[in-house]
A = this chain, B = another copy of it.
């Protein structure tokens, strides 16, 4: 789909974590395509990311919104590679205005998208974007509902119609908790991250993906 604005969602956990990092004063979050690329990245940076959910060896940070909420990141440049979210951001980068959306910045992300005539929601999904992930779609539902309230004549595609039908807050929270990846994260000790990711509008910063050096970085709007 060609749009003027892309809202990219990987609520568990990359787009949530990026919002928290920028809200806490990180200078930028460079998004790169692989852990290897993050490792090779030069300069005074913090490395963040995950491999099967866990902080990769030698990295400074994982992909955890609870960790991001207390880590010393103010003024720091961060380089980040995750399995799904950063790749989804890179897939949209350069095609229009690109924002990282999640529940912690839901209203702010919807307000940013409402400035554009044609918006697409890109759910990161799982297995490097090849499979559907319920948690991202649930957030897409809440985003669509928020956008529809501010634009009553909004035209919707079939996916957005479905999202809207699921876009009620209690239902969406239940879907996030029920999602396969949420159950995996809870089983390996990241239950607190799920609860942090569910805190609606708790970090109202909209990461905006812009060209940075030879790549792309999420910056505060």
Q: Which residues of A line the B interface, CB within 8 A?
A: 126, 131-134, 137, 157-159, 161-162, 165-166, 171, 175, 178-180
Contact = CB atoms under 8 A, between A and B. Distances in A.
Nearest to A182: B158
Contact of A162 (B126, B137, B158): B137
Contact of A158 (B132, B158, B171): B132
A86 to B, nearest CB: 21
B171 A165 contact: yes
A153 B159 CA distance: 29
Contacts of A126: 158
A165 B161 contact: no
A175 B157 contact: no
B158 A179 contact: yes
A158 B175 CA distance: 9
A171 to B, nearest CB: 7
Contacts of A178: 161
24 contacts: A126-B158, A131-B158, A132-B158, A132-B159, A132-B162, A133-B158, A134-B158, A134-B159, A134-B161, A134-B162, A137-B162, A157-B180, A158-B179, A158-B180, A161-B175, A161-B178, A161-B179, A162-B162, A162-B166, A162-B175, A165-B166, A165-B171, A165-B175, A166-B166
Nearest to A159: B132
A159 B126 CA distance: 12
Contacts of A175: 161-162, 165
- Which 5 pairs from chain A and chain B are nearest by CB? A134-B158, A132-B159, A158-B180, A134-B161, A132-B158
